[in-house]
C-alpha cells in the first residue's frame, strides 16, 4: 500500500479536487501534493494518472464518479492492477474492505446529512477501517471532532470549503487535510 499520502500532507494539507478535467493542469501546477480525481472515464483514466505521476503528484481516483468503471470489486481490481493510482476514494464499504485485499490505499467518503447518516457512517468506518475518511460537507467542526474521536481514523474534510477560515476550522477540529475544487483555496 502506498503511504505517501500522509507524507505529502505534511508539506501541504490542501488537496486539489478535480471535478472538471479542464482543471487538471491547474491542479498539477498548484502547490497541492495530492489530487483527488472526481471526473474521467475508463478510456482516459490511465493517461490522467500517468500525467499526474509524471509531475510528481499523488492521485486518488474516486471510483464512484469514473464513467465506464464498474462500482464493484472487478472495477476496483481493474483500476488497481491496470491504472495504478496512489489510491481510491469511494462511498462503498464493500470496496473499502476489498481494497485491503488488493493492498491499495482507500479513502471512505461519508456524506453527513443527518444524525442517522452520521451514526451509520461511524459504524461503517469502524467496520471497514479505511486508511482515511473524507467527510462532506467539510464545514462542520463538531461533527469532525466526533468522527475523529469515535473512529480514530485520519479525517479529510471536503465540500463547501471556500476560504481560509473554513480551512483553519477544519484543521483545528482534527482533520488532517481538506479537499476542495476551489482553485483559490489550493494556493492558501
- Alpha carbon separation from 127 to 22, 93, 103, 130, 174 (Å, rounded): 37, 9, 17, 9, 21
Mean pLDDT score, 36-55: 98
Mean pLDDT computed over every residue of the chain: 96
The pLDDT of residue 1 is 61
Q: How far is residue 69's CA from residue 15's CA, in Å, rounded to a whole number?
A: 23
pLDDT digits (tens, 9 = 90+) for 83-141: 999 999 999 999 999 999 999 999 999 999 999 999 999 999 999 999 999 999 999 99
Alpha-carbon torsion angle 144, 29, 131, 48, nearest 10? 130
Report the CATH fold assignment for 4-181.
TIM Barrel (3.20.20)
2 vs 155, more confident: 155
Alpha-carbon Rg of the chain, whole angstroms? Answer: 15
The pLDDT of residue 2 is 66
pTM equals 0.96
Burial bucket for residue 188 (CB in 10 Å: 0-12, 13-18, 19+): middle
Report the greatest alpha carbon distance in the chain: 42
The pLDDT of residue 3 is 73
Amino acid at each position: 500500500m502506498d503511504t505517501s499520502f500522509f507524507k505529502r500532507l505534511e508539506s501541504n494539507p490542501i488537496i486539489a479536487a478535480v471535478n472538471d478535467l479542464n482543471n487538471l493542469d491547474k491542479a498539477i501546477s498548484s502547490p497541492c501534493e495530492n489530487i483527488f480525481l472526481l471526473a474521467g472515464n475508463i478510456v482516459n483514466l490511465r493517461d490522467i494518472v500517468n500525467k499526474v505521476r509524471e509531475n510528481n503528484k499523488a492521485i486518488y481516483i474516486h471510483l464512484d464518479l469514473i464513467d465506464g468503471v464498474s462500482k464493484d470489486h472487478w472495477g476496483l481490481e481493474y483500476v488497481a492492477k491496470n491504472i495504478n493510482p496512489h489510491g481510491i476514494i469511494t462511498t462503498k464499504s464493500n470496496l473499502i474492505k476489498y481494497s485491503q485485499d488488493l493492498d491499495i490505499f482507500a479513502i471512505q467518503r461519508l456524506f453527513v446529512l443527518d444524525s442517522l447518516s452520521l451514526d451509520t457512517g461511524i459504524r461503517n468506518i469502524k467496520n471497514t477501517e479505511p486508511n482515511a475518511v473524507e467527510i462532506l460537507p467539510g464545514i462542520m467542526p463538531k461533527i469532525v471532532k466526533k468522527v475523529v474521536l469515535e473512529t480514530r481514523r485520519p479525517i479529510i474534510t471536503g465540500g463547501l470549503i471556500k476560504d481560509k477560515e473554513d480551512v483553519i476550522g477544519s484543521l483545528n477540529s482534527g482533520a488532517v487535510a481538506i479537499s476542495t475544487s476551489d482553485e483559490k483555496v489550493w494556493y492558501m
